[in-house]
Amino acid sequence: MVANVGNRFLNVASLDWNDEIIELMLVWMVFLGSAEVWRINQHFAVDIIPVMFRGSRFDKSYRAFISLGCLVFIAVFTYRSFDLFQRATDVSPYFSLSRRWWYGAMPVNGALMVLFSVRQLIDILRTPAADFMTLKKQSKADELAEKVSTAV
């Protein structure tokens, strides 16, 4: 990528192949990164409703319901992306690589996220409901403020 930027000013040689490699790496980085973010449960989430249920008798049921819904969505995504992967017939312009290398990131990501979601659902179902009821009602902002105040 640095060579491509430098070549814009010097115009020494054609670096068309560079864009193709960057695009392929970006696709895999984004999809594998999103699977990792899903695994560690650090994805973006609006937590208005979860905070309302935190510590109540409905907390476990709510978490299981949300986890199951996510699992179904990700399973459908994985199935449809694998279908797209199988139907890909075009090739990249410079290296003539099959576009399946690009589309393959989606079913791999989906399969990983399905595994992580199943693990999360099993953890929720194995945890006694009483453990959820003892959770303190605290937002992420409150948790962060508490960490900052104890660090100072």
pLDDT for 124: 92
pLDDT, one tens digit per residue, over 18-62 is 888 989 999 999 999 999 999 998 888 888 888 888 888 888 899
The secondary structure of the chain, three-state, reads CHHHHHHHHHCCCCCHHHHHHHHHHHHHHHHHHHHHHHHCCCCCCCCHHHHHHCCCCCHHHHHHHHHHHHHHHHHHHHHHHHHHHHHCCCECCCCCCECHHHHCHHHHHHHHHHHHHHHHHHHHHHCCHHHHHCCCCCCHHHHHHHHHHHHC
pLDDT, one tens digit per residue, over 87-124 is 999 999 888 999 999 999 999 999 999 999 999 999 99
- Global model pTM greater than 0.95: no
pLDDT for 54: 83
